[in-house]
Amino acid sequence: MMENSADNAVFRYRGSTFDSMIETLGGVFGTFDAALVDRAQDFHWGLDLTACESAVLITGYHQTGFQFRTQWYSDATEYLSLVVPRRGGMGVTYGSRMSEAGQGKLLLYRNFEPDIISMHGQSNLIDELLLNWSLIQRTIGETFDVPFNGSLDLLPEVDLSTPVGRTIGKIAEAIIDGIRDNGPLIQSPVAMSHITQTLADVVIRMVPHRLSHLIDKMPRMIAPGHVRRGIEFMHANINRPITMPIVAEAAGVSTRALEAGFRAFKETTPAAYLQMLRLRAAREDLLDPENRMLVKEICLRWGFFQFGRFSAVYRAHYGEDPSETRRRVCGSHSRRSS
């Protein structure tokens, strides 16, 4: 089992009922319902929570094993959870499939997905590192040049005896040690941003998931100069009312050649690629709790002049309305501030 100072944790929150534990976790996750699958005897728990902009560390102690079901609501916060067991284990169930963290194994899962969560063993002690799901979505977008929503279908169990498992484990331990007890990463947001981005990059590139097949294409998919020039021009003028003939002129080719280049090397059209860049920029604004702009102002800022059309495209890509994103982020930020 991976060693860490969790064994010496002093729990800020303690209780002897399941409901009080779920209420405490609501401060991190937002609104969700949970119900025990079986009645647990001697239900005593302890939690310590440390939150920063890009990650949350939950250290949890449970006197005995138990299982519970979850139901998430629209204002709950999405995370990629990386479970590091210290004593005992933890499992998640998706339909008939169960995945576990235990001796020599970590567990990766998106908190919205499991039907049942299980804690195993007496005096169970778990570290759970939560990465904001928006970081995972941004990493996917930057890696594959595609907008993404829904289940990533990550391989949930990470074997610590493999090179990939050891790498993920060591990065996760560095983050956990740097967060715990108001550690150095809490004092350095820039370092925290870099190391969580590194973990997200390793997970997306090294752990099998539904987009992994695209990684094999990447070395052979180096775009020609006119496609790269077109993309650079889009980035530099993303909030301007540019058209594809303007982009083609900046790239030094005809509109038809630009279209052919994007279809061959980006598997999309130039217009769709520009829309993806603008959607990503708008979503980053909506996910920023410090951004006070109205949703319609963000829509206009990134070149969407019809709010209804923007909402429809945004919903198709991200599975929620822009206003829902803003309400969820603002609600989560206010809970953390309090």
What residue spans define the domains of the chain?
Answer: 5-215, 224-337
In the block, which residue shows the tokens 């004593």? 87
Q: What is the pLDDT of residue 122?
A: 87
How far is residue 202's CA from residue 297's CA, in Å, rounded to a whole number? 35
How far is residue 249's CA from residue 226's CA, in Å, rounded to a whole number? 10
Give the Cα-Cα-Cα angle 190, 196, 200 (nearest 5 degrees).
140
Please give the class, per CATH, of domain 5-215.
Answer: mainly beta
How far is residue 278's CA from residue 273's CA, in Å, rounded to a whole number? 9
pLDDT average per 10 residues of sequence, the chain (338 residues): 55 92 89 82 88 90 91 84 95 90 93 92 93 87 72 90 96 96 90 92 93 71 81 92 94 93 87 92 88 92 91 86 83 53
**CATH (one of 1.10.10.60, 3.40.50.300, 3.30.70.20, 1.10.240.10) for 224-337:** 1.10.10.60
How far is residue 207's CA from residue 13's CA, in Å, rounded to a whole number? 34
Q: What is the pLDDT of residue 331?
A: 63
